[in-house]
Amino acid sequence: MKHLLDLFPLVERHVAPPVLIALGPVWPVTQLVAALKGVETTCFQFDVYQAARLREKLTQENLTAEVVTAADLWDLPPRFQTVLFPATAHSDRELKLDIVEQGYHVVAPGGRFVTLSEYERDTTFAPAHKKVFGKCSEAPRNKAGSVFWSVREPGDRPRRRHRMTYHAKIGDRPSLSFETWPGTFSYGRMDDGSRAMLEVADVRAGDKVLDLGCGAGAVGCLVSQQCGPTGRVTFVDSSVRAVKLAELNAAANGVTNAKFITSGTLTDLPPGEFDVVLANPPYFADSEVGRLFIATAREVLRPNGRFYFVTKMPVVTIPEIVETFGSVESVENRGYTVVIARA
Ligand SMILES: C[S@@+](CC[C@H](N)C(=O)[O-])C[C@H]1O[C@@H](n2cnc3c(N)ncnc32)[C@H](O)[C@@H]1O
């Protein structure tokens, strides 16, 4: 991670305020803000949980920068003289292309879009910059990674949304169609873990269901076929982009009795309200999010309500769910464990 900061001196002379840092993990973004030495800086994130952690870190380090969240980078005004994109090696190629595309629309005319890539030999960004901005400059090769920059010439280009659609059905119920965008979970395909959980879940007409960590909303939309118009589905996620997509997918699939909440702490969910909670937590993230999902489910379920939690790490998660709920059952399906608990 220190590599991204090592790249900054290569572009420092091109940086003019106001600066926007587009995405990036908490610590590298904090280091970049420090390297910018007090120039007007805004940090953009999709995820309110991640944004809150970044605000905390900036405060701890005595640094000043505004942290904003939105579903799309191009929702921000085109007022930035410099947009810095700290592209870590592990981020998806599709998300990288999406950010270059959307980044064009927030650079002020004459301003620069700069990518700092952790790859020493990066083959993604030069063609992407050229395609979007017409030209691309590149810093001399460097062990720490690669640096690319482009200037936004006067004029405009149409917005081009990176998207993929897939179809999914559970059992004999009708197939639904889901649009997905880069940067949200399971881009372009239905997740097998979610499918495994839906095949096992007992959801009845009239049930109030919580899709906990809804992503693009596939679980909640598919389950609405079971709880029907007398039931209700609440979709919640910490990613603003995910919740916007869930809203779009619910509307496109005729899910009318739905509610949408963006939250990273999950404290704004009503206690004792739900008959069913369905959760497919991030697998490889630290188990903090898994624990938050389990504690939240216990809090928001009505007495005897049902909790379904799909995992590839039952050895870790089952004891945590037992500790919170008392006892559990589990079902193996499609290589996943679906843990079932009652409030
Ligand atoms: C494995 S994905 C599942 C997405 C969706 N249910 C599906 O099956 O396609 C986990 C989701 O949890 C969300 N998430 C992670 N941390 C969260 C938090 N603290 N609060 C709410 N949602 C969170 C992520 O943004 C992600 O969309």
Best of 45, 280, 300, 312 for a ligand 1 pocket test (most atoms within 8 Å of beta carbon): 280
Residue ranges matching CATH 3.40.50.150 in the chain: 2-151, 164-342
Identify the pLDDT of residue 1.
46
Q: Is the CB of 214 under 6 A from ligand 1?
A: yes
Coil, helix or strand at residue 228? coil
- Tell me the CA–centroid distance for residue 18 and ligand 1, in Å: 32
Interior/surface letters 46-60, b for 16+ CB within 10 angstroms, e for the rest: bbbbbbbbbbebbee
Alpha carbon distance 233, 220 (integer Å): 6
> Rounded to 5 degrees, what are φ and ψ at 210?
-110, 120
pLDDT category at 11 given cuts 50, 70, 90 is: confident
Q: β-strand 301-311 against 336-342: which pairing, if any?
A: antiparallel
For the stretch 49-93, pLDDT in tens is: 999 999 999 999 999 999 999 999 999 999 999 999 999 888 899
pTM greater than 0.75: yes
Other beta carbons less than 10 A from residue 286's beta carbon: 8
How many Å separate Cα 139 from the centre of its chain?
Answer: 30
Interior/surface letters 204-230, b for 16+ CB within 10 angstroms, e for the rest: eeebbbbbbbbbbbbbbbbbbbbbeee
- Tell me the CA–centroid distance for residue 212 and ligand 1, in Å: 7
Q: Is the CB of 186 under 6 A from ligand 1?
A: yes
- Tell me the CA–centroid distance for residue 267 and ligand 1, in Å: 15
> Rounded to 5 degrees, what are φ and ψ at 206?
90, -10
For 2-151, give the CATH class.
Answer: alpha beta
For 164-342, give the CATH class.
Answer: alpha beta
For the stretch 218-242, pLDDT in tens is: 999 999 999 999 999 999 999 999 9
